[in-house]
Amino acid sequence: MKVPTYLKPESGPFGRAFATWLDHAPKGLATRFLVLWFALLYTAFAIISSASVGLHPDLLETYARGLHPSAGYNDEAPLAPLMAGGWFALFPPTEWAFHLLATVNAAIGLFAADRIARRCLEGDKRIAVLLLLLLTPFYQFVGQRFAAGQTMLSTWPLATYCFLRAFETRGLAWSAGAGVAAAIAIMGAYHSVFLVAGFAAAALAHPGRWTFLRSASPWLSLAALAIALAPHVQWLLATDFASLGDLAAPHTGAPLTKMLWTDAICLVEGIAALAPLLAVYWLAMRPGRGTLRETFWPPDPDGWTLVILLAAPVALWLVVTPLIGAVLTPLWTMPTAFLLPVVLLRPKVAELTRVAAIRITALVGAATIATLAAAPWLAWRTHVEGTAEGREYYRLVSAEITNAWRLATGLPLRIVMGDRALASAVTFYSPDHPDAMPGFAPPSPNPPPIAAEGKAEGRKAAGWITPERLAQDGWAAICSADDEKCVEGARQRAAGKSNVQFITYSTINRYLGKGGKLGRFFFILAAPESKPVIQLQ
């Protein structure tokens, strides 16, 4: 059956529009257009699709930590909170601003990936790199949960580009930039040490290694990396490497066979996340055996450099993580995915026709439109079904506990403790933006490593919450009323205090006029020792 011309994406007005857009790829105009519209459209998607609930707890905790810029944090690499702190020094603490931060972070990664692609790809292939990346879930969806792992979306491509420029030019600026970029990547996620190891492997495997090693470039990069990392390393030493505890804690003591099985499952899931990219590449390029051989066994040193940069971090990750008691996550492929389409499209024999490029563009465009169209439905479904974290109540309970505190004490709320997610939610949504103290553990500047079980309860108070502040500013505690362990911990924390009030609060989240499920919460208001609490009726 002959397909009508108007149904072919390469024909008609849309086909001509896509072709005109692709004509601007060599000058970079198409890339800038794509990255800009990616940021705008997927920020809009995030805002609409989550309109019925609050932000994810990962974002809220990142914001809470970002209120206090530090060289390190107890159980997380510091870059994400530092980025959030800098961002919200410019933008108001609103949901749309947080969604924009997450999308801009992903967009920076896409732009850096294009800078790498332009070094070895021309014409439609260059823009095809970004189009293929947008067929993975990493940039549009996973990237919205902005936390330590998501920083790798931007830091890995940036560091890789700086390394390639430093290796190629051996210029002082690029060499120093490569070291600083690598340090920033490590401060974003400690897994980035595998990226730096990939840089070393790529440099040593290149025929020009001795010219590179005899120059000042690698040593300047190492010096810049060490200087940039020095404050964080000093913090790690001062805290007995507290933030590294979570890497191995979840499976410390688990049998090796169990860890290997878990890693194998995550490996399959990670590859599955790349399946759309690989499938579209296969259909568009129809690579033969010779093309695949040149792709993964390139005849030139520069091609080998890219293959090593793609494969080495992944291989090291697979080998090292079981040995240190850590495990992979299903999204372990995320930080290295930016190099995959560059490697796949680089061989000269891999021909991408204009028709194939237009069809890939049309597919990505259609997927984007479908995603935006589904956003209102996703918001409604989330409202009806609720969330495991109780995100639908975050705005309501934050307003309620703030109002109750102000009425009872006449003071702004400065410290909130209790359930990790709820406490961080109050920090973000309350107009007072109090400091969050997960759990009820006594403040400790040097927390021990987190135990495998009871992770949230094992966390220590942030260093900026001291016993003196608790006495001077007072504190509020928040728990889900059904969380008996949290409620009991809150009561124990308030034991022996006279200026304390207990509140049970029930609410129903409403969205588009329809009520959701009933949520029940437990508050404790512990006024400053010098300020008697006013009992609310």
Tell me what pLDDT residue 520 has.
96
- Give the CA dihedral 174, 199, 122, 279, nearest 10 degrees: -150
d(CA 256, CA 260): 6
As beta bridge partners, residue 511 has: 514
**Cβ burial, residue 333 (10 Å; 0-12/13-18/19+):** buried
Q: With residue 49 as reference, give the H or E element that holds it.
A: helix 29-49
Helices (H), 50-94: 57-66, 79-87
| Residue 517: Cβ within 10 Å count | 13
Tell me what pLDDT residue 245 has.
64
Beta-sheet strands, E only, within 410-474: 415-418, 435-438
Residue 151's nearest CA partner among 75, 241, 78, 227 is 78
| Residue 530: Cβ within 10 Å count | 9
Three-state SS letters, 281-295:
HHHHHCCCHHHHHHH
Residues 327 and 321 sit within 8 Å (Cβ to Cβ): yes
Give the pair of three-digit tokens for residue 62: 């990142």
Tell me what pLDDT residue 324 has.
72
Q: With residue 138 as reference, give the H or E element that holds it.
A: none
Tell me what pLDDT residue 448 has.
41
Tell me what pLDDT residue 499 has.
86
Residue 44's nearest CA partner among 364, 369, 429 is 369
Tell me what pLDDT residue 535 has.
59
Residues 494 and 526 sit within 8 Å (Cβ to Cβ): yes
d(CA 6, CA 365): 17
d(CA 84, CA 459): 21
Tell me what pLDDT residue 75 has.
77
Residues 450 and 468 sit within 8 Å (Cβ to Cβ): no
359-408: per-residue pLDDT in tens?
Answer: 999 999 999 999 999 999 999 999 999 998 999 999 999 999 999 999 99
Tell me what pLDDT residue 253 has.
58
Q: CA-based angle 193:198:201, to the nearest 5?
A: 130
Q: CA-based angle 457:252:77, to the nearest 5?
A: 65
425-445: per-residue pLDDT in tens?
Answer: 999 999 999 999 988 875 554
Give the pair of three-digit tokens for residue 233: 């390393």
Residue 188's nearest CA partner among 213, 218, 139, 152 is 152
Cα dihedral sign, 107-113-116-119: negative
**DSSP secondary structure letter of residue 184:** H
Share of residues in the chain with pLDDT > 70 (%): 89
Tell me what pLDDT residue 467 has.
87
Give the pair of three-digit tokens for residue 442: 């006594």
Tell me what pLDDT residue 267 has.
80
Residue 113's nearest CA partner among 334, 362, 353 is 334
Residue 136's nearest CA partner among 269, 332, 273, 38 is 273
d(CA 328, CA 517): 35
How many Cα neighbours within 13 Å face the side chain of 56?
Answer: 16
239-274: per-residue pLDDT in tens?
Answer: 887 767 655 555 555 677 777 777 788 888 888 899
Give the pair of three-digit tokens for residue 409: 């004490």
d(CA 525, CA 409): 9
Where the chain has pLDDT below 70, the residues are 1-12, 243, 245-254, 325-327, 330-331, 442-462, 530-537
Question: How would you classify residue 488: left for phi > 0, otherwise alpha for psi between -120 and 50, otherwise beta?
Answer: alpha
Write down how long the chain is.
537
d(CA 265, CA 472): 50
**DSSP secondary structure letter of residue 76:** B
Tell me what pLDDT residue 248 has.
56
